[in-house]
Amino acid sequence: MSKKLFVGSLPWAVNDQILQETFEAHGKVISAKVVTDRYTGRSRGFGFVEMENEDEANAAITALHESELNGRNIIVSEAKPRD
């Protein structure tokens, strides 16, 4: 079963491709999306990554939480369901 992760504190220069490549080192990525502002198109500094299975997602959380990506320490956690 796939698992969705929240990725916060992203540098502005990180795009969907960089996000996907970062997480692919830890398992199969189904999707990677940096959330952008609807009006300006600029990154809002966070995104979501969906990984194919829970073990790989947990490995990515362990490896990448508080790690450095393009000069900033990122936050990686399990995504909370939308209300």
pLDDT digits (tens, 9 = 90+) for 33-78: 999 999 999 999 999 999 999 999 999 999 999 999 999 999 999 9
- Is 82 a residue whose pLDDT tops 90? no
Residue 83 counted as domain residue: no
Domain count, the chain: 1
- Give the model's pLDDT for residue 12: 95
Q: Which domain holds residue 59?
A: 3-78
Determine what percent of the chain falls in helix, strand and coil, rounding each to the nearest 5.
25, 35, 40
User: What's the predicted TM-score (pTM) here?
Assistant: 0.95
CATH number at residue 33: 3.30.70.330
